Amino acid sequence: MNIAIAQSGGPTCAINASLVGAFAEALKTPEIDAVFGSINGIEGIIKNNLIDLKNFIRSNDDMELLKQTPSTVLGSCRYKLPEADTDSTVYEQIMNCFRKHDIKAFFYIGGNDSMDTVMKL
C-alpha cells in the first residue's frame, strides 16, 4: 500500500512538523511501501506531480530540521475543488493519480480550505 501527503494553507513550521509526524509513522508501518509527497498541495495530485518522500527525507536529522523549518516544504496552493456534480473532471484526474501510484490513503495538512478539499474528496 502507498500513501500520499500534501500540504496547503499558510506556511508554518507546524505544517512541516505535521508532515514529519505522518512520514515517521508511515515508516513504522510495514504495510506501507511508499510515501509520496504532492508538490503544491492538491494541485500536485491533479497534475501527477509527486515525489518519493523516502528520497527527500533521508535521516532523523532531516526530520528534526524539517520540524523547525518555517514554510511548506512541499509547497502550498489555494486551489478550491469544484462541486463534483458541476465538474467531475478534476476528481477523475485525482483518482487517476491515486490509481497510477496505488495510493490507498491521502493525508492533507492545512487549514479550513484544506479540510473543505478533504470533505469533497
What is the residue-averaged pLDDT of the chain?
95
Q: Decide which of 112 and 7 is more confident.
A: 7
Contacts of 79 (CB under 8 A, 6+ apart): 8, 41, 42, 43, 46, 117
> What's the whole-number mean pLDDT along residues 58-66?
96
Q: Which residue in 19, 7, 17 sits closest to 43, CA to CA?
A: 7
Amino acid 13: pLDDT: 80
Q: Tell me the residue range of the domain where 59 lies.
A: 2-120
Per the structure, the count of domains in the chain is 1
CA max distance for the chain: 46
**pLDDT for position 10:** 84
- Residue count (the chain): 121
pTM above 0.85, yes or no: yes
CATH number, domain containing residue 45: 3.40.50.450
Closest CA to 62 of 33, 20, 25: 20
Closest CA to 20 of 39, 33, 2, 7: 7
